[in-house]
């Protein structure tokens, strides 16, 4: 006699077997499926490439068994368009199953129809190469008490740019990807990837450069009698400030600050920013690798004579 618990398990096993059989039969059937796939390759003649960007994807109808449609790997390999017959110039290529292939589906998935786009405008050009300069797109802020003494030029200073001739001719320099460093206290050497130029299949060799940053302890230097300039004063009035000069303490890299001329410091006030008592906030400008540590006054009074 079958016990009640055993009877439940028999029913569960029978149900699972039925579901497995149904899934096996269902996924062995051939289905048509409409989907968008990336355009992974446009095959051109030797030493040819495109001067324009093709669409990222296209919509097609494919046939495959349910099992193959469930698999994702072949979808990521995208579509391959055959255009090896094209020469230099602009061409309108009508897309069909004759010149459009599934790049990685093998014989398990069949391309039935190209839905959209049904044609592509391809601008075919020669592949060429040139040398371009590299610029470091890097912002460096030293920690308190330190200063950036030097940021080296990228190494190598030039790289090879490979791509469509018409596009390559327009590019004279490339930059690194944007990078910001803060609170630096020590010297640093880092590898920065290059930002890819805009264009179809543009390649950079190498695709990264090395930049070195030298950080030093800051030195303080005092500048006496820096005159205060008044901007935007009325042309028919004589104006001055009280006090008329400032004592400014500046910090920066030791070698640079020793060579800094006082004319590089500009203390100024804006006449239009004075309050009812004629008091204005003082703005002090200096070269970017220096910092104002202290000044003898942060505000002054504008005197009209």
pLDDT at 174 over 70: yes
Task: Give burial (CB, 10 Å; 0-12/13-18/19+) of 102.
Answer: buried
Q: Which residues are CB-neighbours of 168 under 8 A, at least 6 positions away?
A: 128, 129, 130, 161, 162, 202
Q: Could you give the C-alpha distances from 142 to 1, 65, 139, 251, 252, in angstroms and in order?
A: 85, 62, 10, 12, 10
Q: Where are the domains of the chain?
A: 27-117, 127-217, 219-304
CATH topology of 127-217 equal to that of 219-304? yes
Task: Give ∠ CA 128-152-208 in degrees, rounded to 5.
Answer: 40
| 71 bridge partner residues | none
Mean pLDDT of 101-117: 86
**What's the pLDDT at 19?**
54
Confirm if 247 and 293 have CB atoms less than 8 A apart.
no
In CATH, which of 2.70.150.10, 3.40.50.300, 2.170.120.40, 2.40.37.10 is domain 127-217?
2.170.120.40
Backbone φ, ψ for residue 271 (5° rounding): -55, -35
Rounded to whole angstroms, the maximal C-alpha distance in the chain is: 120
pLDDT at 9 over 50: yes
Mean pLDDT of 233-243: 90
Range ranked top by mean pLDDT from 9-13, 63-67, 230-234: 230-234
Mean pLDDT of 37-59: 93
- Tokens standing for residue 37: 């796939």
Between 104 and 111, where is the model more confident?
Answer: 111
What dihedral do alpha carbons 115, 121, 124, 129 form, nearest 10°?
-90
Q: What is the pLDDT of residues 239-289, one digit of tens each?
A: 999 999 999 999 988 888 999 999 999 999 999 999 988 999 999 999 988
In the block, residue with structure tokens 């003082």: 282
- Tokens standing for residue 189: 């050497």
CATH number of the 219-304 domain: 2.170.120.30
How big is the chain, counted in residues? 305
Is the preceding omega at residue 25 within 30 degrees of 0, hence cis? no
Phi-psi map region of 257: left, alpha, beta (phi>0 left; psi -120 to 50 alpha): alpha
**What's the pLDDT at 70?**
58
> Could you tell me what percent of the chain has a pLDDT over 70?
87
Between 4 and 201, where is the model more confident?
Answer: 201
Give 9-69 as a DSSP string.
Answer: HHHHHHHHHHHHHHHHHHHHSEEEEEEEEEEEEEE--TTEEESSPPPSEEEEEEEEEHHHH
Alpha-carbon gap, residue 143 to 10, rounded angstroms: 73
């Amino acid at each position: 006699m079958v016990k009640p618990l055993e009877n439940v398990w028999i029913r569960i096993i029978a149900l699972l077997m039925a579901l497995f059989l149904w899934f096996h039969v269902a996924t062995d059937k051939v289905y048509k499926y409409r989907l968008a796939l990336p355009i992974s390759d446009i095959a051109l003649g030797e030493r040819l490439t495109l001067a324009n960007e093709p669409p990222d994807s296209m919509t097609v109808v494919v046939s495959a068994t349910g099992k193959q449609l469930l698999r994702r790997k072949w979808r990521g390999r995208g579509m391959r368009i055959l255009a090896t017959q094209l020469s230099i110039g602009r061409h309108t290529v009508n897309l069909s199953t004759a010149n459009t292939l599934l790049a990685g589906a093998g014989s398990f998935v069949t391309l039935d129809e190209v839905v959209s786009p049904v044609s592509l405008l391809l601008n075919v050009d020669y592949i060429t190469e040139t040398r371009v300069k590299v610029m470091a797109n890097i912002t460096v802020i030293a920690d308190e008490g330190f200063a950036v003494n030097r940021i080296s030029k990228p190494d190598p200073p030039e790289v090879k740019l490979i791509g469509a001739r018409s596009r390559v001719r327009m590019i004279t320099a490339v930059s690194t990807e944007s990078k910001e460093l803060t609170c630096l206290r020590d010297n640093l050497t880092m590898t920065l990837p290059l930002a890819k130029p805009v264009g179809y299949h543009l390649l950079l060799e190498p695709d990264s450069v090395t930049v070195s940053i030298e950080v030093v302890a800051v030195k303080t230097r005092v500048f006496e009698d820096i005159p205060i300039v008044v901007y935007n004063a009325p042309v028919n009035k004589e104006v001055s400030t009280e006090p008329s000069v400032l004592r400014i303490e500046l910090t920066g890299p030791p070698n640079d600050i020793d060579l800094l001329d006082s004319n590089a410091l500009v203390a100024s006030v804006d006449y239009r920013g004075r309050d009812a008592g004629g008091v204005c906030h003082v703005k002090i400008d200096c070269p970017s690798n220096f910092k104002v540590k202290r000044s003898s006054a942060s505000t002054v009074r504008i005197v009209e004579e």
